[in-house]
Amino acid sequence: MVNLPRSVKESFVFSRAYKKGKSVVTSHAVLYFLPRKKGSGLTLGITVSKKLGGAVQRNRVKRLVRESVRTLLTPAAASRDGALIVVARSRAYSPRLKMQTFRRVLEEGMRGLELL
């Protein structure tokens, strides 16, 4: 287990990842990985659209994504250089949403991106 990666702030990183990054589609989210130059480290970007609901619902999804990624990341994966973008799909939120189901889904996606 490692510390949480820094967050992606630049919009061009997001758009480049959508266009050129490797992607994996899962039931709750779409994951993209964009390799970047050496020494930049791993960064995490999360996108949750307003379709999911109000600020409370969107915040919850973002926190679950962050916590899942934090617990899933290995030191080897965390030391890679690139941006991991997680886009929550509109069905991702439900009132009964549990941490474990989300973690399982993201694990599947990260294996698909060969991050694990």
Partner RNA sequence: UGACUGAGACGGGCGAUCGCGCCGCACGAGCCGAAAGUCUGAGAGGUGAGGAAAGUCCGGGCUUCACAAGGCAGGAUAACGGGUAACACCCGCCGGAGGCGACUCCCGGGAAAGUGCAACAGAGAUAUACCGCCUGCAUUUUGCAGGUAAGGGUGGAAAGGCGAGGUAAGAGCUCACCGGCCGCCAUGGUAACAUGGCAGUCCUGUAAACCCUAUCCGAAGCAACACCGUAUAUGGGCAGUAUGGGUUUGCCCGACCCGCCCGCAGGUGGCAAGAGGCGCGUGGCAACACACGUCCCAGAUAGAUGAUCGCCACGGCACGCAAGUGUCGGACAGAACCCGGCUUACAGGCUCAGUCACUCU
- Residues in touch with RNA (CB under 7 A): 1, 3-4, 7-14, 16, 20, 37, 45-47, 54-56, 59-60, 62-64, 66-67, 70, 95, 98-100
What is the closest distance, in whole angstroms, from the C-beta atom of residue 25 to RNA in the complex?
Answer: 19
Question: What Cα–Cα distance (Å) separates residue 1 from each residue in 18, 48, 65, 72, 93?
Answer: 28, 25, 15, 7, 26
Question: What Cα–Cα distance (Å) separates residue 17 from each residue in 35, 90, 104?
Answer: 9, 20, 23
Strand partners, 84: 33, 44
What is the closest distance, in whole angstroms, from the C-beta atom of residue 2 to RNA in the complex?
Answer: 8
Interacting residues of 69 by C-beta distance below 8 A, sequence separation 6+: 4, 5, 44, 84, 86, 106, 110
16 or 113, CB closer to RNA? 16
56 or 75, CB closer to RNA? 56
Instruction: Fill in the amino acid letter for 93.
Output: Y
What is the closest distance, in whole angstroms, from the C-beta atom of residue 85 to RNA in the complex?
Answer: 8
17 or 115, CB closer to RNA? 17
What is the closest distance, in whole angstroms, from the C-beta atom of residue 49 to RNA in the complex?
Answer: 11
